Structure 1
């Protein structure tokens, strides 16, 4: 039995994982869906890592799954807990000394979004639309609940440089979501190649794949775990 530690992205509570956790538990695993202090202006990446470590407690056989902004937090956790596998799900991949706020420009994210807009018949510089960026593929009855589980994300975690000198020595896999409009697949493949030196795997869904395609996601996670 493994313990899956599930880290949400920015402005999300643990509900992001509510369709994933029962599927993992049905396979005999423990799960920890972490609540991060997203609305706390005194909390930065260090406090986010603290929240994960506290939630895990003394559990063992850890598989860490990090979504979106969680890519900045998960490696910090790996420095403090005996993580056997880290899976980055359509996540931000930091470079040493880079803050989450600087990541967008450093990776060329804006151009990737312009290209997605044009592919979908939108103006290249169309205003940000969270429904377009996040909810594609999410069942309507689930999408209707997203707003009540959205948090007012503090800007504090985006301000300070990522403190690690290098990526932790932990087996790491990356899952690109093929229909992601926020972190597009081609953009992610390039960033992962440049920053981690690995070829990412792919799964179905958009940016909120835990809500849209939980079964496929669990299959991918289990395949990673069993082939370590």
Structure 2
């Protein structure tokens, strides 16, 4: 089973997936609350591929201890250090500097806006069908990610070649520095689950087959 967006392309292949809805707009909910929700969603399932996209990278290590996760997959994700807060991650990784450098090289605006950095490659019909995004509350950015070490399970890092928010060069560096891993690349921007649904579905199926005896 994959805890991931309920992508139609993935489900048509006969796979099972489950999207966990986190209370991002709840100012009283932080990382521990997020992790508890995901652990409950996994319950007694085994062989789960936990897919953590963007900020969900900070929830992932808190889930892998108490839940039977078979593989952790980061997708255009923030990869934390033990006891690091998501709010401190930006300076620690020099994320904004990397984003602005990539923008200058590639010729789009250095100042962040949603259209340029998140939606530039998402088809309009997909956007119309997607749930309306909610503003992320500040609580989750201030809570340290309390884990001692990475779990002894397969960990993969998948990065969108067209990600403008976390450019591919930046993701390669962070994955090497923090996990000692090389990224695997896929076509698509930061919201690759929307912009390249079929491509991501194929990757998830391949990873799932690799976990099946």
Q: Which of the five TM-score ranges fits, normalised by the shorter chain?
A: over 0.9
Give, in whole Å, the separation in 1 of the partners of 2:17 and 2:126: 21
The answer to whether the 8 A contact 2:45-2:68 is kept is no
1:5 aligns with 2:3: yes
Quote the residue 1:182 is aligned against: 165
CA contact (8 A) 2:74 2:158 kept: yes
Match of 2:202 in 1: 219
Normalised TM-score (structure 1) = 0.87
Q: Which residue of 1 aligns with 2:28?
A: 42
Partner in structure 1 of residue 126 of structure 2:
142
Superposed displacement of residue 121, structure 1 = 2.3
1:218: how far off? 1.2
**Aligned twin of 1:83:** 69
Confirm or deny that 1:70 pairs with 2:70.
no
Q: Give the TM-score taking structure 2 as reference length.
A: 0.93
**3-state SS of 1:135 partner:** coil
SS in 2 for 1:31: coil
Question: CA–CA distance in 2 between the matches of 1:213 and 1:197?
Answer: 27
Matched with 2:137 is: 154
Structure 1 residues not aligned, in runs of 5+: 7-16
Aligned counterpart for 1:195 among listed residues 178, 185, 204: 178
Report the more deviating stretch, 24-33 or 134-143: 24-33
Match of 2:91 in 1: 105
**Correspondence 1:105-144 to 2 at 5 A:** 105-122=91-108, 126-144=110-128
3-state SS of paired residue (2:156): strand
Task: Give the number of equivalent residue pairs.
Answer: 211
Greater than 4 Å deviation, 4+ residue runs: none
Q: Note the C-alpha offset of 1:63.
A: 1.1
- Structure 2 unmatched runs, 5+: none
Query: What is the distance in 2 between the residues matched to 1:198 and 1:121?
Result: 29
Q: For residues 145 and 103 of structure 1, what CA distance do their matches in structure 2 show?
A: 32
Q: Distance in 1 between matches of 2:46 and 2:126?
A: 32
